Structure 1
Amino acid sequence: MTPQPVATTDKLDATVLKVAGVVVLGAIMSILDVTVVSVAIPTFQSEFDASYARVAWTMTGYTLALATVIPISGWAADRFGTKRLYMAALALFTIGSGLCATADTIGQLIAWRVVQGLGGGMLMPLGMTIMTRAAGPHRIGRLMAVLGIPMLLGPIGGPILGGWLIDTASWQWIFLINLPIGAVALVYAQLALPKDNPEPSESFDFVGMLMLSPGLALFLYGVSSLPEAGTFADAEVWLPMVVGAALVVAFVLYSFKPRHPLLDLRLFANRNLTIASVTLFVFIIAFMGAGLLFPSYFLQVRGETTLTAGLLMAPQGIGAMLTMPIAGMLADKVPVGRTVPFALVLIAAGFFTFTQLDADTSYVLLCGSLFVMGLGMGGTMMPIMTSALRTLHANEVARGSTLVNILQQIGGSVGAAVMSVILTNELNGSQPIPGATTPDGEPVTEAGLAIAAQQQPGLLQQFPVDPALIQRGLDFAADSFATTFWVGFVLVLVTFVPAALLPRRREPSHLADGQEAAQAPTPVVMH
């Protein structure tokens, strides 16, 4: 790509802000979609008569699709142009949203969510590449401070919007809402983004992609099949896990051979990148995996409406919105080893509350804990990603950014799959009700009946049940959530180990303010 002039002042001028408007709109649309879906998982369970582990693939499939297209984005942007590719990603995401609303089975919904992810996965890296070229890499911290607040409207507004749409209309509308937003974003992008000047780029590692993406998908599919199969000996569990693991190992061994591999694992020779990547990966598994369970607890154990569940989730987004701009500015001035551990303490403190859940835990305590976790989250992710890239040379940052962002999406996929499997397995251990079976002949458990009664208040009027049985079921379900949160809490504590090795002294950045560095994309926000 032909080098473009880069501004040298710290102030973000009108031209940069106009381009930022396009990026923010696309980011809000894609991030909003994830948070909207998070409150819809119990609805999908009911609508499609599927287990939590199966329905969680609406999130796992989406994030795996994101991980698939992130490495393609840089290569395709050089080959086809950032504006053209960004608009194509917007169109694909919007089309995928419309298709999701037509799904008749959970399998169809998962498939269309993958289509959505293929578009959404390119929006953030392309958008941030466009922004970095407009603003210059020396203003990355300030840029993140400006973009952080509107981007966090998704985590705050998504659950509320999703809950309101499901309660007042239907679950299809959480996807249909993207159609008008996508249309506006396409027109805005056409008018605001600079004209493309594509040039030939380096070759793309299609062989690596054909090993990594299917390998991860197969391995996680095997893991998610465990609750229904009940044993690792079932071929539906061990066969995809073994094949998937073999493909991932083959990819790792192969990736050191090509000149331009899909993921440049050679970059792990950089100590800062390795430590930051490990810290981020473990943190994402814990935080993003458990994050899907918060609204499910409010919906399934407490019997709240989806709108109320969305409102109860808002404190977390508000907390992150308060600290992310500050963390973005501090990342340019203070070594992350001096700030991130304090943010992790806030996350651990808030997380611990959820390991003590019961069927009537105080909402004041839970919302306060979510707020504290949000404060910690806003001070964790951006500084870690900035640290990962700061000490790389300008010609390494594009590959480093790709590596960090793929690990981020893989961590989200692993977290969603693992936490959903643990929760499903815990709920399956509830006491079966003698003589009660589902239409498919499966035994009805106390926890299953209690959750159904909470989500369908009229159920107990049609089929009177001993209130003590319902209470036992709710207590068991709450314990199941608490056990799953214990896993997430332990993973947060594990995150302190690599975080303790993050740099505590100011290290010089290899990124120059010149034109070469202007070509490097910046970190992206987790979907």
Structure 2
Amino acid sequence: MKIAVTLVVGSLAVVFDTTIVSVALQTLSQQLHVPISTIQWVSTGYLLALGVSIPLAGWAQSRFGGRRVWMFALTVFLVGSILCSLAWNAESLIVSRIVEGFGGGLMLPLFSTMIMQAAAGKALGRTMSIVTLPLVVGPIVGPVIGGVLLNWLDWRWLFWVNVPFCVIGFILAWRMLDPDATDARPRFDTLGWLLLSPSLVAILLGLTNSSQAGGFGRTDSFAPLLVGALLLLIFALYSARRSGNALVNIKLLAHRPLASASASLFLSGAALYGGMALLPLYWQQVRGADALQAGLLVAPLGIGALLSRPLAGGLSDRIGAKWVAFTGFAIVGLSTVPFALASTTTNKWFLMGVLVVRGFGLAAVSIPLQVAAFVGLRREQIPHAGIITRITQQIGGSFGVAVLAVILDAALHHHPGSATQAARAFDQAFWWAAGFAALSLLLSLLLPGRTPTEAVKQPEAITSPETV
């Protein structure tokens, strides 16, 4: 428990930071006197830095130990946050955000890896109900915090708010985490990193650019996506040949629980982040709310997420991931439908109640998926699985945002003008969001049905992923 609390406190800075900044781009554009196209790189640069550092987490943990890497990453993120707070123009802010992103990219996969290794197959569902708390609540609460800070304080407080989390997280890590010193000296897979990191950067860049006018037809969207996909394919072939010596062991995807959980995490990322991108815009463009009001109107998602965590964690331990995830995706899909049918006069309190239900479903999905991904894996395989799941969820979130942005933009062009017409455009986008949940519902049937604890009790049954 002490390890879980320690890692959760440190990770809150990373999770909140991403979503807090997302609501501040308009303000930053005005305060720093640059166009939105320039200030957008405050988010894009951070995202691309994640693509560079996420693949390094597994090797770094094996080489230096989890405690050292966690404290190093927290320090990098702290330095980046302070630099952001002191930025004097847009360029310095963008560079500082890249520093933040590098630290955050190391922490995200390391977070789940260290928890799963410490749990050693015991009560994984209840453990994950604690671990995934910031990952689910962060995107929901972040916009509210951002709106409050922008409403009453200077934009620099968007980054100063990270400092207490980083400092307390560092002290807790120093005192609570085991030194886990290692004599291992694994060779760094330079070629693997030179293939995987640029592929992730290119894919994330292409998806980010596709959210703008022109969608996937933009040259700066489809060109990076093609290059990224090609590099990722080359990396997969290369990694399959190197197996355990690769930067990320892609052969682990032959293990069905990890493969099915990764696919579901991709779509759950699309459902979570795609839906979160639509909801504030709906309240602002259709219902006339300002940024702070929109954040508060989305806040019921967090209430639902908190309500479902103990139940989903316990059920994941008792009956396995499959039916918990299946039920969660069904709730997410059904609770998206009212927004697909909403108009400019739909009762706000009714929609806020629907958001509580949707938050309940999103949290119920995240726990079994994270548990299922690590079922039956040996300790040394867990870091590779942690990187794979983090990458799929990160790309899935960017994919969901990009696709729904393209659909919404096209629908708004077909329905220009009044809020009533805008509501029709949002209806189409929300139907697509419901479709992501429906597809996830089918994929969840491939998840393991037995309890995770039973599966982990016999790790010797899995001598290599190929035998699964």
TM-score, normalised relative to structure 2 = 0.85
- Report the residue type matching 1:330 in the other structure: L
| In structure 1, C-alpha distance between the alignment counterparts of 2:264 and 2:314, rounded to whole Å | 21
Aligned residue for 2:341? 356
- In structure 1, the residue matched to 2:433 is 488
8 Å contact 1:392–1:509 — kept in the other structure?
Answer: no
- Counterpart of 1:164 (choices 140, 145, 148) is 148
Determine which of 229, 241, 245 is the counterpart of 1:245: 229
**Cα distance in 2 for residues equivalent to 1:228 and 1:406:** 23
For residue 36 of structure 2, the aligned residue among 31, 50, 65 is 50
Q: Which of 162, 177, 187 is equivalent to 1:178?
A: 162
Per the TM alignment, residue 116 of structure 1 is displaced from its structure 2 partner at its CA by 1.8
Superposed CA offset, 1:177-226 (max 9, x none)? 11233233333333333335232232232322222232233244345445
Please state how far the C-alpha of 1:373 moved relative to its aligned partner.
0.8
Shift of 1:126: 3.2
1:35-114 matches, within 5 Å, as: 35-44=19-28, 48-50=34-36, 58-59=42-43, 61-102=45-86, 109-114=93-98
Q: Please say if 1:336 is aligned against 2:336.
A: no
Q: Kindly state the Cα deviation for residue 323 of structure 1 after the two structures are TM-superposed.
A: 1.0
Rg (Cα) greater in structure: 1
> Is contact 2:79–2:100 with CA below 8 Å preserved after alignment?
yes
Amino acid paired to 2:446: L
Whether the 8 Å contact between 1:204 and 1:262 is mirrored in structure 2 is yes
C-alpha spacing 1:238/1:31, structure 2 compared with 1 (3 Å): closer
Q: After the TM superposition, which residues 270-419 of structure 1 pair with which residues of structure 2 at under 5 Å, given as runs?
A: 270-419=255-404
The one-letter code sitting in structure 2 at the alignment partner of 1:351 is T
Structure 2: which 5+ residue stretches go unaligned?
463-468
1:423-434 aligned at under 5 Å gives the runs 423-427=408-412
- Distance in 2 between the 1:395 and 1:31 partners? 26
Q: Distance in 2 between matches of 1:496 and 1:100?
A: 41
CA contact (8 A) 2:55 2:196 kept: no
How far the C-alpha of 1:399 sits from its partner, in A, is 2.2
Shift of residue 380, structure 1, vs aligned partner = 0.8
How big is the shift at 1:405?
2.2
Distance 1:219-1:386 versus aligned 2 partners, 3 A rule? closer
Alignment equivalent of 2:191, drawn from 189, 207, 212: 207
How many residues align? The count is: 458
Letter paired with 2:283: F
Deviation string for 1:57-104 (max 9, x for gaps)?
655554453354333222212322322221211111122223334557
Q: RMSD of aligned C-alpha atoms? A: 3.3
Separation in structure 1 between the aligned mates of residue 132 and residue 220 of structure 2, nearest angstrom: 42
- Structure with higher helix content: 2
**Aligned amino acid, residue 267 of structure 2:** V
1:334 CA displacement? 0.5
Separation in 2 of the partners of 1:113 and 1:491? 31
Gaps of 5+ in 1: 1-15, 432-471, 518-527
Once residues 422 and 71 of structure 1 are traced to their aligned partners in structure 2, the CA distance between those partners, rounded to angstroms, is 31
Residue pair 1:59, 1:413 contacting (<8 A) in 2 also: no
Return the offset for 1:494: 1.3
Q: Distance in 1 between matches of 2:108 and 2:332?
A: 25
The change in CA–CA distance for 1:228 and 1:400 in structure 2 (over 3 A counts) is: closer
Q: What does the per-residue CA deviation read over 1:118-156, in whole Å, with 9 as the maximum and x for residues that have no partner?
A: 212222443444445555432433323445557766455
Bigger Cα displacement from structure 2, 269-278 vs 162-171: 269-278
CA distance in structure 1 between the partners assigned to 2:362 and 2:384 by the alignment: 25
2:239 alignment partner AA:
S
1:478 and 2:423 matched: yes
Distance in 2 (CA, whole Å) between partners of 1:152 and 1:201 is 35
Contact 2:132 2:367 in 1 (8 A): no
Distance 1:95 1:487 in 2: 40
C-alpha displacement of 1:168: 0.6
Cα distance per residue 1:437-472 (max 9 Å; x no partner) = xxxxxxxxxxxxxxxxxxxxxxxxxxxxxxxxxxx3
Which residue of 2 is the match for residue 256 of structure 1?
Answer: 240
Distance 1:146 1:250 in 2: 37
Q: Aligned runs of 1:458-473 on 2, under 5 Å?
A: 472-473=417-418
